[in-house]
Amino acid sequence: MKKGFVNIVLIIVIVLIAGGAGYYFAKQSTKEKAVQTELVVQEEQKEIKDIVLPSAAVSTTLPTPYISAQENWPPVIQNSSTAYSCTATSSETSETAEKIINGRTYCITDFTDCGAGSCYSDRTYVTADSSGTKTTNFTLRYQNCGGYGGPGDTEFDQCSSARSNFNLDEIIDSLM
């Protein structure tokens, strides 16, 4: 009987210790999640600040449904101490080239993937600034205007007009 009693007490002590440890670690995990959430919110606020403050002179509104955002729109500008460099390359689906926009030199990389009704363009813009570089990356979907009836068709004309009047370089330059 004594052994049985000792075993029961031992089991109760083990359960209490395990329960207390579980409670302690659950509380720690909750505290860590709260701290991580707070840091993420602060980072998101900084990104939003970077988006809003550079310029409100040019609208970042896309001419939907003909051009629509897939990722990272409006663009977030990232600052880096990395020195500016640009190596021109070209392939069937991508191109990297320097381009001067409003007097500022940009290295623009464009990866394009087209399907039946639209093309997806993943673009990266990099430019030099006083402390290194500024970079932004985003993906846009461009509707294939050729899928409509052709010139004279209302949809085709609206799509073509939206594409030809959309100046992506102006938008990016105003944010950088």
Q: Contact, 124 vs 163, CB < 8 A?
A: no
Residue 64 pLDDT: 81
Residues 6+ apart with CB under 8 A from 172: 75, 101, 106, 125, 136
pLDDT per position as a tens digit, 116-151: 889 999 999 999 999 899 999 999 999 998 888 888
pLDDT per position as a tens digit, 5-48: 556 655 665 665 655 555 554 544 433 333 333 333 333 333 33
Domain residue ranges in the chain: 1-53, 67-175
- Mean pLDDT for all residues in the chain: 78
pTM over 0.85: no
